């Protein structure tokens, strides 16, 4: 059989639900798992085409719905250097996902091959992994059907965190080159992180233990594995206490736990019994986001979110580059989204004196903007982010001749940080070790970190509407252009609140519109959010 016949035959086993329109969104396709069979099969076709287009470089495929509830699942594609799938290919993937019949699917597949000048003779290579959701194995079977029908070579890495799959994709595609990213195995990932952590600590010690809420997701078993490679705090390592690591009880995933719960509810997961001032953090369902927090005896629950992690990292790395004598030659910047607290943006520009850039939601936008700097610190307020270093920066860290022991110290730490920080995507495990290194170097408790600036009170609300696609934004999602007139109503409400700011945008991962509001006081922020949510609700079903 020709590959076309193979695809046609295989596609018949994965029929598309007739009444559905699919869209490659903020983080790939994501919805109730029962709707995903054809979507995953067709995303497998996209992965094979993409690999062939890139001369047989390996494409990563991750099956996960990250922070979404257990009954959802999703699929996202990873480009060769571990980045998110290139933008124009989201459209190709969407087109394949929406073909109405098996025959039309094959037609679109052939059309893409021809228009993108893809040789069917080129070997396609794909690796994939999934999180711990019960729907994962069946979706993997649909993916494998597609890869076999297209004649792609593939490797199943079973369960991994999303950032581990990104890491492996980059390792494979850089193997044997000067940019070689690491050993191609899960073990290689743990070894790279743990040895970089040890080098970055430089004899400093962490204080007490950290409680890590793993959202009852794949981060639990993977953190347990990572711990085996880390020393205890008494030996210069770190003491980690894991909570919410039940991956057998499917319904517990992200339920009353995890980074999204903590950020949106602004409270600790009930299962976390940490005492006052103890460091705590929460991962999300696929361990690509992290949020820190602690209980302050005077002020109650205190959140140290993605903005606070970004500012901590930017200030630490900024100091190191100055100590290393590299401040003049390396440009450092911070990339945020509209969800960044206004106080954090102020702190970056006024206190750290660094430029900020605002992009739409979605790691692909932030990552791209961050690569314009030599040291690009990017974090979404929800805890998704990392720090990327330019080739020039990495070269400078490794080749600059130190003029003093202090300079050598700073350069060594920068080299270690480059290895510690996942360069492909936000990675909760890597980010946690980064924060722990910085707090140890500064001898800071979470309270001292919290005091660097005071967040404006804020509220994030999820509004279910009849049709979220009615909401179209501009200006990095800070303004609505549709439905007409809604932005004027929001502006009118915002004007009534001191330090008020609010925006609404359709979620790319959930069937809802998100409303963010901040204002001078807690009650005003809540009030503004509720009022804007009411406007959204009213206009979302027309």
Query: Which residues are designated catalytic?
Result: 66
Decide whether 38 or 382 has the Cβ nearer to ligand G16: 382
By the rule CB under 6 A, 216 interacts with ligand G16: no
Segment 390-395 long-range contacts (CB within 8 Å, at least 24 positions apart): 390/330, 392/329, 392/330, 393/326, 393/330, 394/418
Cβ-contact 482, 468 below 8 angstroms: no
Residues in contact with ligand G16, shown as a per-residue x/- string from 308 to 347 under the rule CB under 6 A: ----------------------------------------
Decide whether 282 or 509 has the Cβ nearer to ligand G16: 509
Query: How does strand 501-506 pair with strand 125-130?
Result: unpaired
Does the annotation flag 509 for ligand binding?
yes
Find the shortest distance in angstroms from Cβ 21 to ligand G16.
17
Find the shortest distance in angstroms from Cβ 66 to ligand G16.
3
Burial (CB count within 10 angstroms: exposed 0-12, middle 13-18, buried 19+), residue 170: buried
Residues in contact with ligand G16, shown as a per-residue x/- string from 374 to 413 under the rule CB under 6 A: ------x-x-x-----------------------------
By the rule CB under 6 A, 166 interacts with ligand G16: no
Query: How does strand 125-130 pair with strand 58-63?
Result: parallel
Q: Which stretch binds ligand G16 (CB under 6 A): 93-101, 121-129, 187-195, 281-289?
A: 281-289
Does the annotation flag 382 for ligand binding?
yes
Cβ-contact 239, 210 below 8 angstroms: yes
Decide whether 291 or 439 has the Cβ nearer to ligand G16: 291
Cβ-contact 6, 105 below 8 angstroms: no
By the rule CB under 6 A, 66 interacts with ligand G16: yes
Q: Which of 507, 511, 526, 537 binds ligand G16 (CB under 6 A)?
A: 507
Cβ-contact 224, 230 below 8 angstroms: no
Q: Which stretch binds ligand G16 (CB under 6 A): 147-155, 203-211, 355-363, 386-394?
A: 355-363
| Torsions phi, psi for 37 (to 5 deg) | -55, -50
Decide whether 71 or 175 has the Cβ nearer to ligand G16: 71
409: tokens are 């110290």
Q: At what angle do helices 162-174 and 428-442 cross, to 10 degrees?
A: 100
Question: Tokens 């509407």 sit at which residue?
Answer: 465
State how far the Cα of 79 lies from the Cα of 316, in Å rounded to an integer.
30
By the rule CB under 6 A, 510 interacts with ligand G16: yes
Does the annotation flag 380 for ligand binding?
yes
Q: Which of 509, 518, 533, 535 binds ligand G16 (CB under 6 A)?
A: 509
By the rule CB under 6 A, 368 interacts with ligand G16: no
Cβ-contact 497, 520 below 8 angstroms: yes
> Site residues for ligand G16, window 36-65 (CB under 6 A)?
none
Decide whether 284 or 307 has the Cβ nearer to ligand G16: 284
By the rule CB under 6 A, 427 interacts with ligand G16: no
By the rule CB under 6 A, 363 interacts with ligand G16: yes
Does the annotation flag 321 for ligand binding?
no
Cβ-contact 528, 489 below 8 angstroms: no
DSSP assignment of 347-411: IIIIIS---EEEE-SSHHHHHHHHTTSSEEEEE-TTSBEEEEE-HHHHHHHHHPPPSSHHHHHHH
Q: Which of 27, 193, 417, 480 binds ligand G16 (CB under 6 A)?
A: 27
Residues in contact with ligand G16, shown as a per-residue x/- string from 286 to 305 under the rule CB under 6 A: --xx----------------
By the rule CB under 6 A, 514 interacts with ligand G16: yes
Does the annotation flag 66 for ligand binding?
yes
Cβ-contact 106, 122 below 8 angstroms: no
Does the annotation flag 18 for ligand binding?
no
| Residue in 244, 52, 208 with CA at minimum distance from that of residue 132 | 244
Tell me the binding residues for substrate.
Answer: 380-382, 505-509, 514
What residues line the site for ligand G16 (CB under 6 A)? 26-27, 66-67, 284, 288-289, 361-363, 380, 382, 384, 507-510, 514
Tell me the binding residues for Mg(2+).
Answer: 66, 284, 286, 288
């Amino acid at each position: 059989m020709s590959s076309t016949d193979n695809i046609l035959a295989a596609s018949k086993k994965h029929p598309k639900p007739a009444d559905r329109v699919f869209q490659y969104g903020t983080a790939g396709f994501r919805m109730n798992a029962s709707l995903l069979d054809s979507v995953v099969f067709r995303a497998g076709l996209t992965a094979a085409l993409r690999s062939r287009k890139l001369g047989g470089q390996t494409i990563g495929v991750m099956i996960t719905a990250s922070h979404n509830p257990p009954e959802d699942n999703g699929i996202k594609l990873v480009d060769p250097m571990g980045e998110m799938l290139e933008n124009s290919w989201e459209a190709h993937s969407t087109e394949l996902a929406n073909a109405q019949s098996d025959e039309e699917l094959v037609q679109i597949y052939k059309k893409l091959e021809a228009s993108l000048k893809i040789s069917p003779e080129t070997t396609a290579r794909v690796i994939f992994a999934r999180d711990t959701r019960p729907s994962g194995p069946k979706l993997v079977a649909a993916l494998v059907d597609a890869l076999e029908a297209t004649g792609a070579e593939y490797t199943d890495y079973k369960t991994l965190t999303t950032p581990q799959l990104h890491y492996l994709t980059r390792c494979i595609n850089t193997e044997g080159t000067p940019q070689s990213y690491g050993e191609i195995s899960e073990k290689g990932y743990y070894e790279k992180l743990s040895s970089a952590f040890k080098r970055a600590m430089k004899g400093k010690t962490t204080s007490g233990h950290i409680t890590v809420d793993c959202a009852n997701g794949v981060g639990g078993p993977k953190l347990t594995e990572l711990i085996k490679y880390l020393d205890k705090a008494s030996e210069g390592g770190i003491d980690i206490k894991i909570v919410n690591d039940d991956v057998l009880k499917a319904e517990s995933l992200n339920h009353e736990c995890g980074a999204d719960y903590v950020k949106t509810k602004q409270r600790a997961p009930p299962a976390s019994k940490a005492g006052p001032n103890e460091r705590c953090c929460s991962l999300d369902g696929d361990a690509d986001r992290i949020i820190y927090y602690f209980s302050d005896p005077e002020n109650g629950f205190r959140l140290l979110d993605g903005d606070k992690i970004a500012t901590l990292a930017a200030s630490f790395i900024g100091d190191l580059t100055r100590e290393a004598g590299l401040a003049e030659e390396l440009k450092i910047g911070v990339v945020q989204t509209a969800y960044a607290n206004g106080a954090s943006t102020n702190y970056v520009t006024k206190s750290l004196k660094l430029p900020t850039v605002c992009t739409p939601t979605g790691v692909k936008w932030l990552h791209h903007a961050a690569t314009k700097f030599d040291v690009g610190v990017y974090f979404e307020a929800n805890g998704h982010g990392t720090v990327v270093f330019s080739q020039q920066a990495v070269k400078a860290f490794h080749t600059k001749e130190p003029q003093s022991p202090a300079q050598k110290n700073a350069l060594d730490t920068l080299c270690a940080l480059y290895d510690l920080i996942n360069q492909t995507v936000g990675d909760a495990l890597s980010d946690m070790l980064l924060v722990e290194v910085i707090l140890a170097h500064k001898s800071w408790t979470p309270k001292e970190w919290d005091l660097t600036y005071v967040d404006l009170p804020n509220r994030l609300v999820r509004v279910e509407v009849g049709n979220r696609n009615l909401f179209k934004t501009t200006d990095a999602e800070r303004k609505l252009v549709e439905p007409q007139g809604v932005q004027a109503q929001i502006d009118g409400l915002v004007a009534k609140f001191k330090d008020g700011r609010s925006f609404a945008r359709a979620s790319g991962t959930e069937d809802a519109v998100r409303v963010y509001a901040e204002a001078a006081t807690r009650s005003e922020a809540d009030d503004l959010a509720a009022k804007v949510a009411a406007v959204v609700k009213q206009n979302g079903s027309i």
